[in-house]
Amino acid sequence: MARVAIVTGGTRGIGEAISLALKEQGRQVVANYAGNEEKAKAFTEATGIPTVRWDVGDHEASLAAVAGIAEQYGPVDIVINNAGITRDGVLHRMSYDDWNEVMRINLGGCFNMAKAAFPGMRERGWGRIVNIGSINGQAGQYGQVNYAAAKSGIHGFTKALAQEGAKYGVTVNAIAPGYIDTDMVAAVPAPVLEKIIAKIPVGRLGKAYEIARAVAFLTSDDAGFVTGSTMSINGGQHMY
């Protein structure tokens, strides 16, 4: 029986690439999405991967969604916490709502999904959680105190939960992508994007499939000795 994998924010960009990589790996993938039903429907038609809509920042909605997926497809053994938003602005112009919404979804979503799926993984003696952080959670970024704080929090969350899951066969890891060639990055003004690429030693943006391949490895049986780790995939832009 194929292991069931949930990918939050799994119908576009990095999330879409992850969903496809896990499907190719033989997983029963279910992709979460937040609001665009038309694109979600097109994604399912193109890939055959079912989609379920809920707000990962909503605790009760996340618990209910994971329970529903488990009832329909089987126990959830793999969770990829990829969903995230930006509400950029310098601190003195940032509203509390902009701060709170990014924290609620980007970091709170990791807690909500882990809370829903981790107990079952622990009981069954096998599980894989991969949280998608960011280079900006490691190095910081001007105008992103909310996003950088949430993504940095993901790395600490990963290390702590990894210690809880280790003896139960549940690994918890993170990936910190650099600048990846997605719609979000494509929206950056060209002059700004040129400056960003100039700071990347390999001289280009990353590809979504390069993140997806790492997720496929971390969720495999072969990665059972890897836990509490953050894999930086950024073209050498930030090293430490």
pLDDT digits (tens, 9 = 90+) for 45-79: 999 999 999 999 999 999 999 999 999 999 999 99
Q: Is 147 assigned a catalytic role? A: yes
- Rounded CA-CA distance 18/7 in Å is 7
240 lies in some domain: no
Q: Residue 110 is part of a domain; what is its CATH number?
A: 3.40.50.720
- Rounded CA-CA distance 212/16 in Å is 9
- Rounded CA-CA distance 43/46 in Å is 5
237 lies in some domain: no
What pLDDT sits at residue 172?
Answer: 98
Q: Are 109 and 62 spatial neighbours (Cβ–Cβ below 8 Å)?
A: yes
What pLDDT sits at residue 192?
Answer: 87
* Residue-wise pLDDT tens digits, 105-118: 999 999 999 999 99
- Rounded CA-CA distance 159/173 in Å is 8
pLDDT in tens, the chain (240 residues): 899 999 999 999 999 999 999 999 999 999 999 988 999 999 999 999 999 999 999 999 999 999 999 999 999 999 999 999 888 889 999 999 999 999 999 999 999 999 999 999 999 999 999 999 999 888 888 889 999 999 999 999 999 999 999 999 999 999 999 999 988 787 888 898 999 999 999 999 999 999 999 999 999 999 999 999 999 999 999 897
What pLDDT sits at residue 225?
Answer: 98
**Which one of 147, 168, 209, 240 is the catalytic residue?**
147
108, two tokens: 């709170």
118 lies in some domain: yes
238 lies in some domain: no
What is Dmax (Cα atoms) for the chain? 53
Who's near 19: CB < 8 A, 6+ residues apart?
A: 7, 10, 11, 29, 31, 47, 49
DSSP conformation class of 3: P
106 lies in some domain: yes
What pLDDT sits at residue 139?
Answer: 84
What pLDDT sits at residue 184?
Answer: 76
132 lies in some domain: yes
Q: Are 29 and 17 spatial neighbours (Cβ–Cβ below 8 Å)?
A: no
* Total domains present in the chain: 1
Domain of residue 182, residue span: 4-232
What pLDDT sits at residue 140?
Answer: 85
